[in-house]
Amino acid sequence: MPMIDWIRDYLDGLGIESRLAAGADETKANLYATIAGGGGEGAEGGVALSGHTDVVPVAGQAWTSDPFVLTEKGDRLYGRGTADMKGFIAIALAMAPAMKAANLRTPVHFAFSFDEEVGCKGVPHLIERLGRDLPKPSLVLVGEPTSMRVVDGHKGIAAMRTTVTGLEAHSSRPHEAVSAVVCAMKIVGKIEEIVDGLRAAGRTDGGFTPAWTTFNIGVIEGGSAVNIVPNRCRFDWEFRPIPGVTAEDVLDPLNDYVRAELLPKMQAVAPGAGVETEIMALSPPLQAGAGSPAVALARKLTGANHTEKVAYGTEGGLFELADIPAVICGPGDIAQAHKPDEFIEIAQLAAGARYVERLVEWAANDGNIAALG
């Protein structure tokens, strides 16, 4: 919140009003600000510059400089969030006076979110208000680090926690018990079967490496001793769907298996047995359609003559899901993100600044979104 307050005060000083869209507990908020020109279509439509204000922790990482003090060394700037993606937010804010002065024909919005790094949990509180009590942009430029390449697709992320409750017994009497660990292994096997089945059914996309939907069982815990049938097992897992694969494509057949096959067997022995799968985070894949005005604008501003896909997730898929075309393009290299001694090259910041400068020129002199794509 202190950072959001600082940004709000800064914009306020430029005569730009910002609105906060808080989460459930009001301790964190998205910030949304609109710079509308006099000559154009008012506050609706236009282009949103999107960035997340949170960063990943530095705990346990060996930094050679203070991660929260911007440190210049050679042609690089070091600090947590320099590449991911506070560099882009800094550029957007630095260009705000120019935007305000430019008498824009189409509005430019700032959409700065919270809690992106824990599964895109903040931005839905903003997106749900767009077109309701906040002006809805016609497209979104997401400034995640792509080394200024234009990215028109990424995989989604679905993170789950499954808890299996069985019934304990002495291990010499397993017929009176339901092993939560064995049941968990069956569910894990089913997950593998379902995800492999998607690939076998030809649901692949050669634009990605790897080209198919993947899964991972990241943590599994259960049981306490070799001679006790365990009554509880929990595992955290994720899958990363390619565009066109939904969370339901995995979760529906999994839930069907649990309900129809596994649970009846468990409950025949232990009526209180159960399986609970909780969605921890869900961010959809991004697949900008052919003729996406967002991709067309990013290509126009960068001069890029081709687009790419990336393996990491962004908030772009959530904007797309709300029918707001999105594209990913921003300064810095994702290879530096989340690591100790995270840095951005000053040349990347300069390229990012040129990108936003060209956006301001376009929004002031042209601004015709319908003519894009």
CB of 288 to Zn ion, least distance (A): 18
Q: Indicate the residue among 44 and 117 with the shorter CB distance to Zn ion.
A: 117
Closest by alpha carbon to 124, among 29, 249, 7?
29
Q: Indicate the residue among 84 and 205 with the shorter CB distance to Zn ion.
A: 84
Q: Which residues bind Zn ion (CB under 5 A)?
A: 84-85, 144
- What contacts 306, CB < 8 A, 6 or more positions away? 150
Q: Indicate the residue among 343 and 362 with the shorter CB distance to Zn ion.
A: 343
CB of 85 to Zn ion, least distance (A): 5
Q: Indicate the residue among 187 and 318 with the shorter CB distance to Zn ion.
A: 318
CB of 83 to Zn ion, least distance (A): 8
In whole angstroms, give the CA distance from residue 23 to residue 366: 36
Please identify the residue of the shown chain whose CB is closest to the bound Zn ion.
84
In whole angstroms, give the CA distance from residue 102 to residue 183: 63
Q: Indicate the residue among 123 and 130 with the shorter CB distance to Zn ion.
A: 123
3-state SS, 96-153, equals HHHHHHCCCCCCEEEEEECCCCCCCCCCHHHHCCECCCECCCCEEEECCCCCCCCEEE
CB of 206 to Zn ion, least distance (A): 25
Identity of the residue numbered 212: W
| Cis peptide upstream of residue 210 (ω within 30 degrees of 0) | yes
Q: What angle in degrees, to the nearest 10, is found between the helix axes of 87-94 and 2-13?
A: 20
Q: Indicate the residue among 55 and 229 with the shorter CB distance to Zn ion.
A: 55
Measured CA distances, 194 to 145, 162, 197, 252 (Å): 33, 16, 5, 10
58 alpha carbon, distance to own chain's centre: 20
CB of 54 to Zn ion, least distance (A): 9
CB of 316 to Zn ion, least distance (A): 11
